[in-house]
Amino acid sequence: MRYVDEYRDGALASRAAAAIAAEADPGRHYALMEFCGGHTHAICRYGIEDLLPPNVSMIHGPGCPVCVLPIGRLDMAIELAMRPEVILCTYGDMMRVPGRDRTSLMKAKAGGADIRMVYGSGDALRVARDNPGREVVFFAIGFETTAPTTAVALVQAAALNLRNFSVFANHVLTPSAIQAILDSPEVTATGTVRVDGFIGPGHVSTIIGSAPYERFARDYRRPIVVSGFEPLDIMQSVLMLVRQLNEGRCEVENQFSRAVSRDGNGKAQALVERVFELRDSFEWRGLGTIPDSALQIREEFADWDAERRWQLRYVPVADNRACSCAQILRGAKKPLDCAIFGTACTPENPMGSCMVSPEGSCAAYYLYGRWRDIPQQAKAG
């Protein structure tokens, strides 16, 4: 695969690893948080941690859209799906996330709900056109990356006057989450979580650009490198962060320059701006309620807003007590620190959202990396 294999080259990886080892000061420790679940997935899948010196450690952040959606919002989707007139269209990852009382969309489907797995908002629109007698709801989740495609669907639905289509919008915003982490008690008051720098979410920045992170670098004194998702991208970003920290710089640098500019994609931003506005507040799993951290559908498109159409009401639901998803999402715990990791909570039988999506920390760690913590296994291999 051209333009992909080049970024997975083992020889180049060794060179990058040697460069990081050479530049990392043995007298200090570098704690770097990758915000985005896509990075977490790549780090675990390609075994990147094997290539880093012991004093450079990665902290998995909250950037998985499946993981940060609180149970209450999922329950709203399940409630919608159970309506006999509704076809709920959802991204596949959401199907297995446990809701209240360990229900899930998959269980609702087995119970008779008409739930269709789609690959994008366009598929949901097609389902609506093909089923004029039914109410088709698109369960929209994701960061700034997927918000424009949801916006396109809403604009098209309005243009076609497609009255049996609506969107249950759950789009959330990255900068708010980064700020929530930097303001969290673990980082500020107790200092139990040390984050020296961030690997910034590349896909999100293709839309919003790198500029929105500049204030964090400046105000919180944390360097940020916006990174691509291939393993070499991540290695190079780690090196760039190590260099900034060594030099005492706190800047936003763009490793993913083949896709990201400082200002992002203006057309996509305008589209999102036209369709969505900021929600006053939105609850995130693990980060609590954050003002201005999510998008809601504007009045102009109210007819296609599932929350208004069915007068859905958000009821917060506490996470399972045994589950440490909340702390893991803030970087305050690692998957292995959770009492039920790998026992009561596995990908086959997830208790929390982090174990569901392949981009969730626990799932990535369970699927790709758990051998690491069994010393005799490392030896056998």
Partner 1 sequence: MMQDDRRPFARKLDLKNGQVDMSHGSGGKAMAQLVEELFGAAFDNPLLARRNDQAVFDPPPGRLAVTTDSYVVSPLFFPGGDIGSLAVHGTVNDLAMAGARPLYLTAGFIIEEGFALRDLARIVASMAAAAAEAGVAIVTGDTKVVERGKGDGVFINTTGIGAVPPGVAPSGDRARPGDAVLVSGFVGDHGVAIMSTRENLSFETTIASDSAALHGLVAAMVDAVPDVHVLRDPTRGGLATTLNEIARQSGVGMLLDERAIPVRGEVAAACELLGLDPFYVANEGKLVAICAPGDAARLLDTMRGHPLGIDAAVIGTVIDDDHRFVQLQTTFGGKRIVDWLAGEQLPRIC
Site for partner 1 in 76-95 (CB under 8 A): 91-93, 95
Could you give the count of Cα atoms lying within 13 Å of 178 in the half-sphere of its Cβ? Answer: 26
Q: How far is 42 from 37, CA to CA, in rounded Å?
A: 9
Site for partner 1 in 271-290 (CB under 8 A): none
Least spacing, CB of residue 156 vs partner 1, in Å: 17
**Looking at the DSSP assignment, which residues form a beta bridge with residue 34?**
60, 199
Q: Is residue 168 within the footprint of partner 1 (CB under 8 A)?
A: no
Least spacing, CB of residue 265 vs partner 1, in Å: 14
Least spacing, CB of residue 202 vs partner 1, in Å: 11
Q: How far is 138 from 89, CA to CA, in rounded Å?
A: 5
Distance of CA 165 to the CA centre of its chain: 26
Q: Is residue 48 within the footprint of partner 1 (CB under 8 A)?
A: yes
Distance of CA 60 to the CA centre of its chain: 11
Provide the pairing of β-strand 135-142 with 165-171.
Answer: parallel
Q: How far is 273 from 3, CA to CA, in rounded Å?
A: 32
CB distance 198 to 35 below 8 Å: yes
Q: Which of 6, 54, 119, 339 binds partner 1 (CB under 8 A)?
A: 119
Q: What phi-psi label fits residue 248: left (phi over 0), alpha (psi between -120 and 50 degrees) or beta?
A: left
With contacts defined by CB under 8 A, name the span among 115-123, 175-183, 297-305, 330-338 that binds partner 1. Answer: 115-123
CB distance 146 to 269 below 8 Å: no
Q: Is residue 203 within the footprint of partner 1 (CB under 8 A)?
A: yes
**Identity of the residue, 13 or 162, whose beta carbon is nearer to partner 1 in the bound complex:** 13
Q: Which of 17, 76, 97, 151 binds partner 1 (CB under 8 A)?
A: 17
Binding track, positions 209-238, relative to partner 1; x by CB under 8 A: ----------------------xx------
Q: Which residues bind partner 1 (CB under 8 A)?
A: 1, 4, 8-10, 13-14, 17, 38, 44-51, 65-66, 91-93, 95-96, 117-119, 123, 126, 141-143, 145-146, 203, 231-232, 346-348, 357-359, 363, 366-371, 374, 376-377, 380-381
